[in-house]
Amino acid sequence: MADVTEDVLRAAVIIGSTRDGRFGPVVADWIAGHITRREDMAVDLVDLVETPLPTVFPAFGQAPSDEVVAQLGAVSPRLARADAFVIVTPEYNHSFPAPLKNAVDWHNEQWHAKPVGFVSYGGLAGGLRAVEQLRVVLAELHAVTIRNTVSFHNYGEAFGADGKPYDSACDVAAKAMLDQLTWWGQALREARRVRPYGV
Ligand SMILES: Cc1cc2nc3c(=O)[nH]c(=O)nc-3n(C[C@H](O)[C@H](O)[C@H](O)COP(=O)(O)O)c2cc1C
């Protein structure tokens, strides 16, 4: 993420799918475009394909290997720097994809007292079951999840070849979610500065 002024909110958009041939980047690029066009937000697109993390964790109290430290170095500082997150997730077997949960689990303070918004996609349910389960996971990590969600049901029919949704209501929904994310992001950033979160 480029250097941004103090009043601009740094939002990390996380692409939750790592599948070969995945659709996720289409959705992520669309919401990242919305963020880029706002004057009050800046975007960092975190693609879990480019920042793979192992699924084997070190024992409690044991430091990760140098290789894992290097892998974490490609993603953890970016999550730490973010004031807010947008998770772009499909639905796998009525839940979130395993690589997304793995990336969540490798981190802790990076999520604390920060807001998380969601853009989901899937079949008839539009990925919403993944979102509702992520809310439970992120509450454990002291994150605040945003009420409004943007979801695409039957996602394969929702986007044109230009990567934009056919239905302009999706842009209205994106703005509403990002407005809420910005409110919480600014409020929590100010609060963390006055009173560092440590409870
Ligand atoms: C392992 C797996 C499980 C899936 N389970 C669901 C599901 O429960 N609900 C759903 O709407 N779509 C499901 N799908 C279909 C996905 O919505 C679709 O494959 C979508 O393209 C996945 O996102 P991606 O292409 O970015 O990986 C599943 C796909 C996979 C690969």
Secondary structure, 3-state, the chain: CCCCCCCCEEEEEEECCCCCCCCHHHHHHHHHHHHHCCCCEEEEEEECCCCCCCCCCCCCCCCCCHHHHHHHHCCHHHHHHCCEEEEEEECECCECCHHHHHHHHCCCHHHCCCEEEEEEEECCCCCHHHHHHHHHHHHHCCCEECCCCEEEECHHHCECCCCCECCCHHHHHHHHHHHHHHHHHHHHHHHHHHCCCCC
pLDDT band at 190 (very low <50, low <70, confident <90, very high): very high
Tell me which residue has its CA closest to atom 14 in ligand 1: 92
Determine what percent of the chain is predicted with pLDDT higher than 70: 97
Q: Is residue 199 part of a domain?
A: no
Q: What is the pLDDT of residues 124-177, one digit of tens each?
A: 999 999 999 999 999 999 999 999 999 999 999 999 999 999 999 999 999 999
Q: Which of 18, 30, 92, 133 to mutate to test the pocket of ligand 1 (most atoms within 8 A of CB)?
A: 92
Q: Is residue 17 part of a domain?
A: yes
Quick one: which atom of ligand 1 is closest to the CA of 94? 8
**CA 114 to CA 128: how far, in whole Å?**
21
Q: Is residue 145 part of a domain?
A: yes
Quick one: which atom of ligand 1 is closest to the CA of 126? 11
Given this model, what pLDDT does residue 199 score?
81
- Supply the mean pLDDT for the chain: 96
Q: Is residue 117 part of a domain?
A: yes
Q: Which of 91, 119, 120, 153 to mutate to test the pocket of ligand 1 (most atoms within 8 A of CB)?
A: 91
Whole-number Å distance, alpha carbon 22 to ligand 1 midpoint, is 9
Quick one: which atom of ligand 1 is closest to the CA of 19? 27
Given this model, what pLDDT does residue 3 score?
58
Asked whether 99 lines ligand 1 (CB < 6 A), one says: no
Q: What is the pLDDT of residues 80-115, one digit of tens each?
A: 999 999 999 999 999 999 999 999 999 999 999 999
Q: Is residue 182 part of a domain?
A: yes
Tally of structural domains, the chain: 1
Strand partners, 196: none
Q: Is residue 47 part of a domain?
A: yes
Predicted confidence (pLDDT) at residue 183 exceeds the cutoff of 70? yes
What tokens appear for 84 in the block? 């807010």
Range of the domain at 113: 9-57+65-194
Q: What is the pLDDT of residues 30-84, one digit of tens each?
A: 999 999 999 999 999 999 999 999 999 999 999 999 999 999 999 999 999 999 9
Asked whether 180 lines ligand 1 (CB < 6 A), one says: no
Q: Is residue 2 part of a domain?
A: no
Given this model, what pLDDT does residue 1 score?
59
CATH of the domain at 43: 3.40.50.360
Q: Is residue 3 part of a domain?
A: no
- Rounded to two decimals, what is the model's pTM? 0.97
